[in-house]
């Protein structure tokens, strides 16, 4: 009877190994990050816009997007995302792309509120 129990346990053990294909959680974490990276650099504007506006997008990805984006709608979404650090906002404001915004833009006013400034251009 012991051999029957051993056979069942062995089968259960092999099914568990087969179902996960031996992949560890770090594999899935890497795959998730690769997917996020691809979405943030997607040629489809709507995908990048969604990523820029999402509170679930990692801060590192948002900062990278803010450094290279040129689309005003995406930049606006990035500037209004609470996950963007103030330091990254300051770095962006030193670029020529910041000239896309003026005091009539929601993003401009949001950044002013975020940094606690009442200055206008």
- Determine the pLDDT at residue 44: 96
Predicted local confidence at residue 119, as pLDDT: 55
121 Cβ partners below 8 Å, 6+ apart?
102, 103
pLDDT of res. 121: 47
Question: Would you state the pLDDT for residue 117?
Answer: 65
Quote the CA–CA distance of 121 and 119 in Å, as a whole number. 7
pLDDT number for residue 60: 96
Q: Which residues of the chain have pLDDT under 70?
A: 1, 14-21, 117-121
Model confidence, pTM: 0.73
């Amino acid at each position: 009877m012991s051999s029957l129990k051993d056979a069942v346990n062995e089968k259960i053990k092999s099914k568990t190994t087969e179902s996960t294909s031996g992949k560890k959680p770090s594999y899935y974490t890497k795959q998730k990050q690769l997917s996020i990276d691809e979405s943030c650099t997607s040629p489809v504007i709507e995908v990048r816009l969604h990523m820029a506006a999402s509170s679930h997008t990692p801060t590192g990805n948002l900062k990278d997007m803010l450094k290279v984006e040129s689309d005003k709608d995406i930049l606006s979404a990035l500037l209004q995302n609470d996950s963007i650090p103030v330091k990254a906002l300051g770095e962006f404001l030193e670029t020529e792309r910041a000239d896309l915004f003026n005091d009539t833009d929601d993003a401009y006013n949001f950044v002013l509120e975020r940094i606690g400034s009442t200055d206008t251009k």
